[in-house]
Amino acid sequence: MRIPPIAPGDLSQEQKPLYEDMCTEMKSYFSGFIKSRKDGALLGPWAPAIRYPKFGKPWWDYVKAIADNPSLPKTVREVAILATGAHFKAGYELYAHSAIGEKLHLEADKIATIAAGERPSDLSREEGIAYSVAVSLAAGGRLPRATWKMAVEVFGEDSAAELIFLVAGYHQVSAILNGFDVCIPSEDDQEPDTPST
C-alpha cells in the first residue's frame, strides 16, 4: 500500500470516531474476508479513508447509504459489484466481494467468470441486468435507454436507481483501492471476522 494502515492506538481524535463507526457497521454487511490486521488497523479502502478523514468520512457515509436496507437482491448487488471490480482490476474489491458472493451462495463459477472480466452464460434475468448496467457504466458514456428501461421493468424505478448508485459507489471504491495500491491481505494478516476492537 502507498500509505500504511493506522493501528487503533495511533489514531487521531478526528480519526477515532470514523474508525469506530467503520468497525461497527462492517460487522453487519462486510463479513467473510480480512478487513483488519492483528493489531486492529483497518485494511482495504478503509485504511486510506481513515488516514484522510476529510475525504474518508463523506465517502464512508455514501458507502453506508448504498448498503443500508437495499431493495435489490443481495446476489444481484454482488454481480454488479464484481463486474465493476473486474473492469477496474481492483484486487481487494474482487477478493472481498468474491467472499461475500460465496457466503450468499452465488455459484463459484459465476464469481470466477465475472472476476475474469467475462459474462457468465447462466446469469438469472436479474443478475444479467445488473451485469449489463455495471459493464455499460464502466465502459463510459450514457447507459443505453433499453438497459435502463429493462432495469426499471424488472426492479422498479427506485431499485434501478439504487443499482446505478451502487455501481457508481464501487467505481469510487475501485479508484481508492487502485490509487492507493491496496493489496489483497496475506495469510499473516488477521483471520476473517476476528473482532478488531
Q: Tens-of-pLDDT digits for all 197 residues of the chain?
A: 899 999 999 999 999 999 999 999 988 777 889 999 999 999 999 999 999 999 999 999 999 999 989 999 999 999 999 999 999 999 999 999 999 999 999 999 999 999 999 999 999 999 999 999 999 999 999 999 999 999 999 999 999 999 999 999 999 999 999 999 999 998 666 645 544 43
Buried b (16+ CB within 10 A) or exposed e, 50-73: bbebeebbebbeebeebbeeeebb
Residue 181 included in any domain: yes
Residue 103 included in any domain: yes
Residue 2 included in any domain: no
Residue 5 included in any domain: no
* Residue 41 DSSP label: -
CB-CB contact of 127 with 111 (8 Å):
no
Residue 142 included in any domain: yes
Beta-carbon contacts of 166 under 8 Å, excluding residues fewer than 6 positions away, are 66, 70, 72, 77, 80, 81
Residue 4 included in any domain: no
Number of domains in the chain: 1
- Tell me the whole-structure pTM to 2 decimals: 0.92
CATH of the domain at 116: 1.20.1290.10
Residue 79 included in any domain: yes
Residue 6 included in any domain: no
Containing domain of residue 79, as a range?
Answer: 11-197
